[in-house]
A and B are shown apart, each in its own frame.
Chain A
Amino acid sequence: MTNPVISSPHVHGPANVSGVMLRVVYALLPAIAGCVWLFGWGVVVNLLVAITAALVFEAAFLALRRRPIIITLRDGSALVTAVLLAVALPPLAPWWLVTVGVLFAIVFAKQLYGGLGFNPFNPAMAGYVLLLVSFPQEMTNWAAPAALRSGDLGLVQVLLHSLTGALPTGTTMDALSSATALDTLKVQLGMAHTVSEIRGGPIFGLFGGRGWEIVNGLILLGGLWLLWRRVITWHVPAAVLGSLALIATLFHLINPELYAGPLFHLASGGAMLGAFFIATDPVSGATSPRGQLVFGAGMGVLIYVIRTWGGFPDGVAFAVLLMNMAAPAIDYYTQPRVYGHNRG
């Protein structure tokens, strides 16, 4: 018997990239179910369109780049990008909006940089930001929570709407959609209302936006499951949420009528999704534990700054991309002390 020369180690643990990616998708399932319950079938249609588009674009570009198609598709990264983007987009988004977002995410933000592992930016967020700056109207038409909308659409009706823009007779987009809580807060603060006045409105729930706070709770649940399964570590989510809560508390204490409190910020918009599912993207984030704390803290502050003083109601996607740019520098300056090297 002659063996080829194989370098040690000869054994390997159970971890693999596909497993990591699949767990991220599993962790989002409760939140997706919550979305369906609260905002209707829109998210399911988004998922169908996004996943199909992602797989098609990824396969096409792998073919162009002469890379193995099936093996690479099975790494699950295109699937994760599609799912994250689909969850982040408004539930009643037209098909082309989703497709353009996915196209940019997969082709421009990932494959053109060399595929998984080489993308400096989180692909889903790159796609999201492209849509946000290009199609602001479509991106702010969020489905109204169940209690506030007049009439419900079935799965087929939502699919038809997505593909053709047609709605059943007697239904209008206005009746189905509403501004988000963050949006409302921003607009009305601009009209010199106080935070307590604004939060008396029907779009607000106990902590954050009505419905949103439940979805955010379910995302938190999925995130905790990822922590438990050791797909992610606590550093990034803790730093994002901690710094966001801290800075929100600070300004809330200074003037509670001008600045919403920390719970509102945590339970609204994309804070939870960003903290547990986006900022924890290893490829585009910081690697070392200390670096992850810096990365997350920077992101939390940026989210608050953009939400409070920026031009957009939510700032998660921008905050992620900005911190992605800083990740290599953060990693460089937060290298751990190697065994046998002097402290300090």
Chain B
Amino acid sequence: MDNQANPGTTRQLWRFHGGLHLPDHKALSSGRPITPATLPKRLVLPLQQHIGAPAKALVEVGERVLKGQMIAQADGFVSAPLHAPTSGTIVAIEERPVPHPSGLSAPCIVIDSDGEERWTELHPHAHWAALDAGELRNVIREAGIVGLGGAGFPSFIKLNPGARTEVDTLVLNGAECEPYITCDDRLMRERAGEVIAGARIMRHALHARRVVIGIEDNKPEAHAALRDALARVDRHDIELVQVPTLYPTGGEKQLIKILTGKEVPSQGLPIDINIVCHNVATAAAVHRAVERGEPLISRIVTVTGGGVAQPHNLEVLIGTSVDDLLAQCGGTTPTLSRLVLGGPLMGITLQHRGLPVTKTGNCVLALTPGEFGQHGPVRNCIRCGECARVCPANLLPQQLYWHARAKDFDHAQDYNLFDCIECGCCAYVCPANLPLVQYYRYAKTEIWAQARDKKKSELARERHDFRTERQERDKAERAAKLAKKKAALEESPAADSEEAKKVAIKAAMERAKAKREAAGVEPKNTDNLTADQQRQIDEAEARRATEKKNESANERE
């Protein structure tokens, strides 16, 4: 492909269905260079800031930590460690409110900074090209890097295509299609070199045939900066492509379709079509982790919206509270009516200002009533089909709505509920003002819950079946044993049999004698047992106990 000289002009692009041209409001903050946020006094770090298992704390309350020191380790394969964003003291490890759609609390490590910003010892890998893919992935995993575009999937996993899979294209997502957000734009403008360096490391780890960086054409400065950076390092294996501005181009599936014409299979992953997609900010973080040895302890956050006095792009330590960020942007205006973490189409409502910024928090959006757009009364669906026209997954949102509303989850799945990416296009255009995405989330959660219940009951049934089988087997074995014994007795010589009879008669007589004596004297009492009797009882007790233990062990199986 010969478009290195003039990148992005000759490439064929494809289209995805639907999409929206939205007022982008990016001018509020796109002119604001990245500024380091002031060092907060206190940082709250949720143990789960990624998809997968929460990290496991490595520190204790009262312990002093250094900047960049690992304070929680990955727990399992799909997990990510956590590092101290600054030096200070651990003051608490407890449940705190975290940014979550339902306003939940979750375990967090709380650090009070000492203001000294003393770094732990770092281990940069200047000659990363000498490392093999596995070693690189380990460095990236240990640095706690997760997808910074919003989903937060541990990045090292997405850099592991598997031994037999060849990666054709590494797509770097610089679309940043949601209105208001400008953090990736500023990153690409100001740190283009870091993005390119990260892209090269990722390419090395994946053995990808080519790298394509997709940028929406409303960010010409970012495009120019990356072009210049590419020219400086003389990289011809990285392609820069401007794509038309259309929400949600930044969706992984949508960007892949635009750049390659291929579609990620339903319920599948990009790697199924030999593509891997990472955010540009993740690439920059990979560069820092590998070439400087710095773990992921900060990110760029756009603080914007009509409800904030001076919008900014801040370089923020993970765990800084939203309140601290708002204060640095001149505070909020009296008309502020909703705080959102993320963009206006997919972000989550922040229930209060004290919540911390996490690894995936790209934007703090302070919305005023005037920015919500028209919100009339909620009416019945008139089946106008506007939602279907804008759906980037080419679903029939109105049908999904009917079935979700009727709790007819089977039909909702027939209409491919799980291909919905929750981009919000349908709800944005709905003339009846229906909260469509909310219905889809509800249906998905219900289906997941049902699946869990089903699994549980299946497990219980299996266990029950197993137990019945075992009991029958035992019965059969006992019967077999008994039959064998009986046969053995019948087959034994007559002399022996006579002997046995004599012994049995003698024993019975002795038992009867003992009984008579016992009845005559006093009721049997466990207080004055002979040592021999006591030993026998103990033995019996011990036998019963082990039997019981075995029984319950079988139950658990």
B380-413, CB < 8 A from A: 380-386, 388-389, 392-396, 398-399
Q: In the assembled complex, which residues on chain A have CB atoms less than 8 Å from the CB atom of B267?
A: 340
Does A20 touch B at the CB level, under 8 Å? Answer: yes
CB–CB A8/B347 < 8 A = yes
Q: In the assembled complex, which residues on chain B have CB atoms less than 8 Å from the CB atom of A223?
A: none
Does B257 touch A at the CB level, under 8 Å? Answer: yes
Does B28 touch A at the CB level, under 8 Å? Answer: no
CB–CB B382/A282 < 8 A = yes
Q: In the assembled complex, which residues on chain B have CB atoms less than 8 Å from the CB atom of A3?
A: 338-339, 349-352
CB–CB B266/A341 < 8 A = yes
A interface residue count range (under 10 / 10 to 19 / 20 to 34 / 35 or more)? 35 or more
Binds A, one of B225-233, B422-430, B449-457: B422-430
B374: contacting residue among A16, A283, A339, CB under 8 A: A16
CB–CB B385/A288 < 8 A = yes
B394: contacting residue among A6, A15, A337, CB under 8 A: A337
Task: Report the bound CA distance from A287 to B395 in whole Å.
Answer: 12
Q: In the complex, how many angstroms separate the beta carbon of A326 from the nearest chain B beta carbon?
A: 15
CB–CB A339/B394 < 8 A = yes
Does A66 touch B at the CB level, under 8 Å? Answer: no
CB–CB A19/B16 < 8 A = no
A12: contacting residue among B266, B347, B373, B377, CB under 8 A: B373
Binds B, one of A56-64, A111-119, A161-169, A183-191: A111-119
Q: In the assembled complex, which residues on chain A have CB atoms less than 8 Å from the CB atom of B375?
A: 12
A7-B419 contact given A287-B383, A287-B385, CB 8 Å threshold: no
Q: In the assembled complex, which residues on chain B have CB atoms less than 8 Å from the CB atom of A233?
A: 389
CB–CB A335/B373 < 8 A = no
A9-B427 contact given A14-B373, A287-B385, CB 8 Å threshold: yes
Q: In the assembled complex, which residues on chain A have CB atoms less than 8 Å from the CB atom of B384?
A: 20, 282
A105-162, CB < 8 A from B: 114-118
Q: In the complex, how many angstroms separate the beta carbon of B381 from the nearest chain A beta carbon?
A: 5
Q: In the assembled complex, which residues on chain B have CB atoms less than 8 Å from the CB atom of A2?
A: 351-352
For B383, give the chain A residue with the smallest CB separation: A282
Task: Report the bound CA distance from A168 to B167 in whole Å.
Answer: 88
Does B447 touch A at the CB level, under 8 Å? Answer: no
Does B211 touch A at the CB level, under 8 Å? Answer: no
Task: Report the bound CA distance from A337 to B395 in whole Å.
Answer: 8
Does B432 touch A at the CB level, under 8 Å? Answer: yes
A8-B348 contact given A336-B394, A340-B253, A340-B266, CB 8 Å threshold: yes
For A71, give the chain B residue with the smallest CB separation: B377
Does B265 touch A at the CB level, under 8 Å? Answer: yes
B355-374, CB < 8 A from A: 365, 367, 371-374
A339-B16 contact given A10-B367, A115-B380, CB 8 Å threshold: yes
Does B438 touch A at the CB level, under 8 Å? Answer: yes
Task: Report the bound CA distance from A10 to B346 in whole Å.
Answer: 8
Query: A199-223 vs B: 1/0 string, CB under 8 Å?
Result: 0000000000000000000000000
CB–CB A338/B431 < 8 A = no
Q: In the complex, how many angstroms separate the beta carbon of A8 from the nearest chain B beta carbon?
A: 5
CB–CB B383/A10 < 8 A = no
CB–CB B419/A340 < 8 A = yes
Does B435 touch A at the CB level, under 8 Å? Answer: yes
For A230, give the chain B residue with the smallest CB separation: B386
Does B59 touch A at the CB level, under 8 Å? Answer: no
CB–CB B380/A339 < 8 A = no
A117: contacting residue among B16, B381, B422, CB under 8 A: B381
Task: Report the bound CA distance from A128 to B182 in whole Å.
Answer: 56
CB–CB A13/B380 < 8 A = no
Does B344 touch A at the CB level, under 8 Å? Answer: yes
B315-360, CB < 8 A from A: 336, 338-340, 342, 344-353
Q: In the complex, how many angstroms separate the beta carbon of B90 from the nearest chain A beta carbon?
A: 28
CB–CB B431/A7 < 8 A = no
A282-B429 contact given A336-B396, A340-B266, CB 8 Å threshold: no
A293-328, CB < 8 A from B: none
Q: In the assembled complex, which residues on chain A have CB atoms less than 8 Å from the CB atom of B373?
A: 11-14
CB–CB B431/A16 < 8 A = yes
Q: In the complex, how many angstroms separate the beta carbon of A253 from the nearest chain B beta carbon?
A: 36
For B352, give the chain A residue with the smallest CB separation: A2
Task: Report the bound CA distance from A4 to B351 in whole Å.
Answer: 7
CB–CB B431/A17 < 8 A = yes
Task: Report the bound CA distance from A116 to B379 in whole Å.
Answer: 9
Does B103 touch A at the CB level, under 8 Å? Answer: yes
Which 4 A-B pairs give the minimum distances between C-beta atoms? A117-B380, A9-B424, A340-B266, A12-B373
List, sorted by A's number, 7 A–B pairs whose CB atoms are closer than 8 Å: A1-B339, A6-B338, A8-B437, A16-B432, A287-B383, A287-B388, A341-B266
